[in-house]
Amino acid sequence: MALKHKPLTFKLAVTALAMFGFGFALVPLYDVFCDLTGLNGKTAATAASADAALIDTSREVVIEFIARPNKQMPWVFKPEVRRMTVHPGEIHIMNYLAENPTGRMIVGQAVPSVSPGQAALYFHKIECFCFTQQQLAGGKNMLMPLQFYVDPALPSQFSTITLSYTLYDVTSAWTGDTAASSQLGE
Binding residues for another protein (CB under 8 A): 1-2, 4-5, 8-9, 12-13, 15-24, 26-27, 30, 39-41, 45, 70, 109, 111, 117-118, 166, 168-170, 173, 176
Closest CB to another protein among residues 9, 57: 9
* β-pair type (61-69, 76-79): unpaired
In angstroms, what is the minimal distance from the CB of 106 to another protein? 13
In angstroms, what is the minimal distance from the CB of 140 to another protein? 21
In angstroms, what is the minimal distance from the CB of 43 to another protein? 13
Let me know: does 151 contact 122? Beta carbons within 8 Å.
yes
Closest CB to another protein among residues 23, 185: 23
Neighbours of 154 (CB within 10 A): 20
The DSSP 8-state label assigned to residue 81 in this structure reads: -
In angstroms, what is the minimal distance from the CB of 84 to another protein? 24
Let me know: does 136 contact 110? Beta carbons within 8 Å.
no
Closest CB to another protein among residues 88, 112: 112
Q: 163: closest CA among 90, 67, 94, 75? A: 67
Phi/psi of residue 31, nearest 5 degrees? -65, -40
